[in-house]
Structure 1
Amino acid sequence: MVGLVGYGLWANTHLRGLWFVGLGLFCNALVIFANKGHMPVSAEALYKVGMEAYIPKLQQQYDAVHTLLSESSRLWFLADVIPVQVLGYTNVISLGDVYLMVGIALTILDGALEAKRKAQEPLEIDLRF
């Protein structure tokens, strides 16, 4: 699956926003691989967004993907350490997630601008018979 995503990103390098998507995926994969298949999550960030109820679950490794950030966590700065509360959305995200969101937004914006540009181009009609 990762290979297919990588190929899709490589085949579309002309889309500038996908460079950020690739960087985000790389950052998230790097921290997960460095922590034996788990994404560390900051307890402090969970408290800041009111999600402290997840801390005992993370301590018990209830979640197959996430674990509680500790002193033994590697690459902690790439882990889920950024508390986010925006327009009713509450979560703890990573730097890789930020890159992913920026990349997706840029890709959508580039697509919309390209569609607008094409819509404004004059139609070329060949009247030769």
Structure 2
Amino acid sequence: MERPGGILTTLYLASALVGIVLALAFRASFRDLAHIELRAAWAFVGAALLEGGLAFATSRGLIAPEIAGPTAKTLVLLLVGYGLWANAHLRGLWFVGLGLACNALVIFANKGHMPVSAEALYKVGMESFIPKLQQQYDAVHTLISESSRLWFLADVIPVRILGYTNVISLGDVYLMVGIALTVLEGALKAKRKAQATFDIDLRF
């Protein structure tokens, strides 16, 4: 679940860190990490800024949720979709695409809203968000009810890691796995490319 004014930045950064650790464990270097070939990076950055900005604006009452929600999700889908298409060579991003598809599916099935489990919120000590969700304080989230569709794809997974708490969806899990695998795969490809170039230089 997105907190006011932002996205799952902490977990996404943690996923990237896991990818970096795995890459180093497979003997990639920081130089290899710096040379990961990620095309159209602006699309992913733009999507994150757009969604975070609209969530912040909605939580401050600057934009109506019924306008910001569909706008954010449509534009994010377009931007990330383009980024995925441009980086089809990175198979780790396929998990990112799967996660995005799962989140989009449950949101569109619930008329632009991501249902959130009240039970999961209680488990991680975030019950104070329940009244806010009842008032639809941001562009997307609302409490799960009997009428919620595809609830198993909604925010129903409680997370408590090293003091960090949140409630996330299966799609978020796929996204985090995809981020870690993309960093690992990209670094290893950069390593192989650098080694191939070095071998060519030696022949000359």
- What's the TM-score once normalised by structure 2's chain length? 0.58
Kindly report which structure 2 residues correspond to 1:41-60, keeping only aligned pairs within 5 A, or say none. Answer: 41-60=116-135
Aligned to 1:19: 94
Structure 1 gap segments, 5+ residues each = none
Q: In structure 1, what residue type is equivalent to 2:173?
A: V
Q: 1:117 pairs with 168, 192, 197, which one?
A: 192
For these two proteins, the number of residue pairs brought into alignment is 127
Give 1:4 deviation, angstroms: 3.1
For 1:16 and 1:87, how far apart are their aligned partners in 2? 30
> Quick check: 1:107 aligned with 2:200?
no
Mark the CA change 1:64 to 1:11 in structure 2 (over 3 Å): closer, same or farther: closer
**Residue type of the alignment partner of 2:163:** G
2:180 counterpart of 1:97: no
SS in 1 for 2:200: coil
Q: Secondary structure at the match of 1:91?
A: strand
SS in 1 for 2:120: helix
Q: Distance in 1 between matches of 2:90 and 2:190?
A: 14
Equivalent residue number for residue 64 of structure 1: 139
Matching of residue 73 in structure 1 with residue 148 in structure 2 = yes
Structure 1 counterpart of 2:59: none
String of CA shifts for 1:5-41, please: whole Å, max 9, x gaps: 2122122222111110000000101111111111000
- Kindly, what percent of the aligned residue pairs are identical? 84
TM-aligned CA distance change 1:104 to 1:43, over 3 Å:
same
Distance in 2, matches of 1:80 and 1:54, equals: 13
**TM-score using structure 1 length:** 0.89
Q: CA RMSD in A?
A: 1.6
Q: Which moved more, 1:117-126 or 1:5-14?
A: 117-126
Structure with the largest fraction of strand: 1
Q: What are the superposed Cα offsets for residues 84-126 of structure 1, whole Å, 9 maximum, x if unpaired?
A: 0012221000000000000011000111222233344434337
Q: Counting helix residues as a fraction of each chain, which structure ranks higher?
A: 2
Cα distance between partner residues in 1 of 2:169 and 2:131: 20
- Indicate which of 73, 76, 88 corresponds to 2:163: 88
Could you tell me how far apart the structure 1 residues matched to 2:126 and 2:103 are? 21
